[in-house]
Every structure is written in structure tokens, then in C-alpha cells.
């Protein structure tokens, strides 16, 4: 249920010196009427304001960009408490001395911004440094979007792009990059270095590859718990594509990531085929598959008899399949048909359950306590029960899952006179999820199509009153 409310966005921008200097500003406002008790967790007011500045130098070869934003969200104590504890902020995170939940607060404010300096992409040289930050209290999600607050990020890029044919290449480029992240308490949360190269051959086939070395400390992994030092890992990817201007084109990609701490790994395979059977009919199909094993996957936050939360991790073996099909057919210049269909299957099995302990320990084995066989047992309904000496008893639900989903749209558009159109849309969706692991792809596939569908039919008509 959505409350009655208003949303306002105002944007102003002005440029000088033939567009070499640009200054802009934006203001947003949200107001909700939350008299209903069921809506008490929603803020009643939200404001944000921002400024942006861009300056080009040396015949627009270099640029400086600066952004600044502030926000303030107000509401009842219950609403602001929920805002502080949601995944964007996690003010309750243990071990973060710069954070803390204020239970009687009726507003939340913050700031953010960015500074970027580098080349503008006109020449062969690519050189950029970009720093941006979002303070712990910044929230833009009433009108805009902010995935995570409490972060400082610096990204540096150095690369070279050759657009003229040389040797076997029509064009090529390479780039090295470095990304560092911290929270506002000074904790380093990421350090990643990457090398990327790509090239297009004279026959218009292309090839690109990337190698990444990454170190991550995840402040969101334990869902409001302490930051968890995740795996140090390598990631390598390779992608090839044929000439996209042909009637038939193909692309394929492979990506593999592996941990240096344990046997955690992830492999992605992706392929896409495009066919232009005629000037009126085109088809495309895409297949994506991922197999992932992660020994530090979050499972649950369980309360022991002592009342202290216990953060449970496990080893997940996960398989994910995603298929996408598209059809575009022009029956005439005024009558077109488009179809989109996407089946999705994801399954996961959990083993090797463990309790998070010293989550920032340099040694991988010191970050958790692996349950001994006599400390954990599975009861009726699949629920797990833990009894640790000196810790207490607690339980958590079986996290295994099998998820199946299908989404499709069929759109028919008829322009029955210039500027006037009729749209007919048929959408079908199927969703099924069970708290158990089904290994067989065929069984999941069959179960998806046995699921009762939800069908929606929409009709839209527009008429252009010409003078």
C-alpha cells in the first residue's frame, strides 16, 4: 500500500564559453501523508540538493568535474530507526565506532560528492582519477537511488586507444586501473588492480580480456553484523565476438574467479546468437550459466540463549541458468510485433556451517569457528540446531533453495494513422521457489512449466489531433 504524497524535482543548468564551462543544480522534495499506522515506518519528508560543475581545458581534451549533494530525511522515530538499520546504512554494525543507532532520532542527514580530473576521450591517451564519497547518513532513495552509504572510493585509470588500423587490427586499446575503498571509520574495504585489453580485427571480429586482483572487506556481508574480510581473489575473463554487421553474429564469454584462501570459485559462461533473417525479421538468443562455490556465504543471524547474535556462514554450491529470447517482426511499416521471453533457474546447497568469530583476522581460518559434527544437527522440517559449549543453543532454517522464474512480453504496435497508435501487450510470469535443493536441471525446468502462470493483458490507444 502506497500513501498519498507528492514528488518534486527541479533542475537548472547553464553553460558559458561555448560550452567549456557548465554549472548546474538540482533540488528534490518528497512529502508523504502517513496517518495510517501501517505506514509508520515510512519517512514523511525527504529533501536533497546538488550542484555540478564541469570545465574543459586544452580544446576540450581534458576535463574537470565536481559534484556535491546533501540530503535530509525526516519522519517519526520508528521510520528513522528503520532507515538507520536498513542495508543502505547499517548503523547497527558492530565494530564500527563511527556509527551508532539513535533510537529517538526524527531525522537523518548526510552529504556526498565527487571530483574527477582527466582526459575527455578525444585523444589516444586515457588518464583519469575519480574520487567520490557518500557519508553514512546520505539517503537519496525517495526520488533517486543510492545502493550504499558510508563509503569513500578512489579510481585511477591509465590507458591507450588506437583507432586507426595497424597490423591485423582495425583498432585496439588497453587500460590499467586501480580502485581503493574505505568506510568513514578508516577501514579499507577494497583494493583492486586490473588490466584490460581489447581489439577489433580487420574482419570486424573482436576480442577482449581482463585480469583483476581483488581484496575485499565486506561491510554488508553479515546483514548488519561486523565487517567481514572476504576472500582475496583473482578474476580472469575473455570475450570474443564476430562481425555484428552480418546477418548472423555470435559472441561468447568466459569468466573465472578463484580465491587464494580456499577453494571458493566462480565460473561464468555466456553465449549470444543474433540472426537477421530478413529486413523484417530478426531473432536473438542468449544463454548464461554460472557455477559458484563460496565458503563464506551468509546464512542467518541467530540468537543464542544469551541473547547475543550469532552470525552463521556456510559453503554454498550454486548453479544459475538464464535464457533470453527476442523476436522483432515488422509485418508492415505500420504494424510490428516484438517478443521477449526469459526463463531463469537458480539452485543452492549449503554445507560446512560455521560461526563468524574474528571477522577481520588476517588468517582465513581465524575468521570463523567450523561446527563440529556433535555441535550441529538437523531436525524436522530441515531446521538446524546448534549447541556450542560456552556459547549456547540456537537454530536457523535450512537455507537450501531452488528458484524458478519465467518472464515474457508480447507487444503488438499498429500505427493506424500518422501519430496515432494502438498497443496490445500480453505479459506472462511464472515464479516458484522451494526451500530445498534440486540438483537436476531437467527437474527444475519441468517444475517451472508446471507452475501456474500469471497473465496480464494491456491495451493502449493514442490519437493525434492534427490541425
Mean pLDDT computed over 386-391 = 85
What integer best gives the mean pLDDT of the chain? 94
Kindly state the cell numbers that stand for 176.
590499467
pLDDT at 287: 98
Higher-pLDDT residue of 51 and 303 is 51
pLDDT at 304: 65
Q: What is the pLDDT of residues 142-159, one digit of tens each?
A: 999 999 999 999 999 999
pLDDT at 381: 82
Beta carbons of 318 and 291 less than 8 angstroms apart: yes
DSSP class of residue 20 equals T
How far apart, in whole angstroms, are the C-alpha atoms of residue 115 and residue 144? 20
Beta carbons of 298 and 371 less than 8 angstroms apart: no
pLDDT at 36: 74
Mean pLDDT computed over 212-221 = 96
The H or E element that residue 445 is part of is helix 441-450
Burial class (CB in 10 A: 0-12, 13-18, 19+), 467: exposed
Q: How far is CA 17 from the centre of its chain?
A: 38
**Whole-prediction pTM:** 0.89
- Give percent above pLDDT 70 in the chain: 99
Residue 306 pLDDT greater than 70, yes or no: no
Residue 452 pLDDT greater than 70, yes or no: yes
Cα angle at 188 between 182 and 193, to 5 degrees?
95
Mean pLDDT computed over 104-130 = 94
List the helix and strand counts (H, then E) for the chain: 2, 23
Neighbours of 222 (CB within 10 A): 22
121 falls in which pLDDT band (50, 70, 90)?
confident
Mean pLDDT computed over 199-204 = 96
Neighbours of 180 (CB within 10 A): 17
Mean pLDDT computed over 191-196 = 98
Q: What is the pLDDT of residues 325-345, one digit of tens each?
A: 999 999 999 999 999 999 999
Q: What is the pLDDT of residues 453-465, one digit of tens each?
A: 999 999 999 999 8
- Give percent above pLDDT 90 in the chain: 88
Mean pLDDT computed over 366-393 = 91
Report domain extents, the chain.
1-175, 203-467
Residue labelled with grid coordinates 504496435: 413
pLDDT at 1: 61
Q: What is the pLDDT of residues 401-448, one digit of tens each?
A: 999 999 999 999 999 998 899 999 999 999 999 999 998 999 999 999
How far apart, in whole angstroms, are the C-alpha atoms of residue 342 and residue 284? 12
Amino acid at each position: 500500500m502506497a500513501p498519498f504524497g507528492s514528488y518534486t524535482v527541479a533542475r537548472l543548468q547553464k553553460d558559458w564559453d561555448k560550452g567549456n564551462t557548465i554549472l548546474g543544480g538540482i533540488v528534490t522534495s518528497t512529502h508523504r501523508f502517513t496517518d495510517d499506522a501501517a505506514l509508520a515506518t515510512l519517512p514523511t519528508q525527504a529533501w536533497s540538493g546538488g550542484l555540478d560543475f564541469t570545465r574543459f581545458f586544452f580544446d576540450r581534451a581534458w576535463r574537470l568535474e565536481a559534484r556535491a549533494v546533501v540530503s535530509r530525511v525526516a519522519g517519526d522515530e520508528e521510520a528513522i530507526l528503520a532507515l538507520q538499520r536498513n542495508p543502505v546504512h547499517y548503523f547497527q554494525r558492530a565494530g564500527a565506532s563511527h556509527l551508532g543507532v539513535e533510537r529517538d532520532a526524527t531525522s537523518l542527514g548526510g552529504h556526498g560528492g565527487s571530483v574527477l580530473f582527466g582526459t575527455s576521450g578525444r585523444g589516444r591517451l586515457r588518464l583519469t582519477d575519480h574520487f567520490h564519497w557518500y557519508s553514512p547518513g546520505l539517503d537519496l532513495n525517495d526520488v533517486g537511488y543510492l545502493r550504499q552509504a558510508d563509503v569513500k572510493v578512489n579510481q585511477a585509470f591509465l590507458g591507450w586507444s588506437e583507432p586507426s588500423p595497424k597490423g591485423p587490427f582495425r583498432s585496439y586499446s588497453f587500460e590499467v586501473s586501480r580502485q581503493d575503498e574505505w568506510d568513514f571509520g578508516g577501514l579499507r574495504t577494497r583494493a583492486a588492480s586490473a588490466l584490460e585489453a581489447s581489439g577489433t580485427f580487420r574482419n570486424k571480429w573482436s576480442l577482449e580480456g581482463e585480469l583483476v586482483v581483488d581484496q575485499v572487506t565486506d561491510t554488508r556481508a553479515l546483514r548488519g553484523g561486523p565487517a567481514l574480510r572476504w576472500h582475496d581473489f583473482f578474476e580472469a575473463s575473455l570475450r570474443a565476438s564476430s562481425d555484428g554487421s552480418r546477418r548472423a553474429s555470435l559472441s561468447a564469454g568466459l569468466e573465472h574467479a578463484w580465491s587464494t584462501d580456499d577453494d571458493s570459485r566462480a565460473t561464468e559462461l555466456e553465449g549470444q546468437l543474433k540472426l537477421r533473417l530478413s529486413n523484417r525479421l530478426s531473432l536473438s538468443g542468449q544463454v548464461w550459466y554460472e557455477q559458484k562455490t563460496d565458503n563464506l556465504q551468509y546464512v542467518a543471524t541467530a540468537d543464542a540463549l544469551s541473547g547475543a547474535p550469532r552470525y552463521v556462514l556456510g559453503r554454498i554450491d550454486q548453479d544459475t541458468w538464464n535464457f533470453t529470447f527476442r523476436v522483432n517482426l515488422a509485418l508492415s511499416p505500420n504494424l510490428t510485433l516484438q517478443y521477449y521471453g526469459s526463463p531463469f533457474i537458480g539452485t543452492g546447497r549449503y554445507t560446512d556451517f560455521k560461526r563468524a568469530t574474528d571477522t577481520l583476522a588476517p588468517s582465513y581460518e581465524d575468521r570463523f569457528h567450523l561446527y563440529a559434527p556433535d555441535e550441529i544437527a538437523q531436525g524436522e522440517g530441515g531446521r538446524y540446531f546448534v549447541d556450542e559449549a560456552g556459547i549456547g543453543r540456537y537454530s536457523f532454517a535450512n537455507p537450501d533453495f531452488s528458484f524458478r522464474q519465467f518472464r515474457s512480453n508480447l507487444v503488438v504496435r499498429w500505427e493506424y494513422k500518422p501519430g496515432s497508435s494502438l498497443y496490445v501487450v500480453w505479459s506472462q510470469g511464472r515464479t516458484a521457489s522451494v526451500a530445498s535443493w534440486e540438483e537436476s536441471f531437467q527437474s527444475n525446468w519441468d517444475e517451472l512449466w508446471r507452475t501456474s502462470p500469471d497473465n496480464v493483458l494491456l491495451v493502449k490507444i493514442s490519437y493525434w489531433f492534427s490541425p
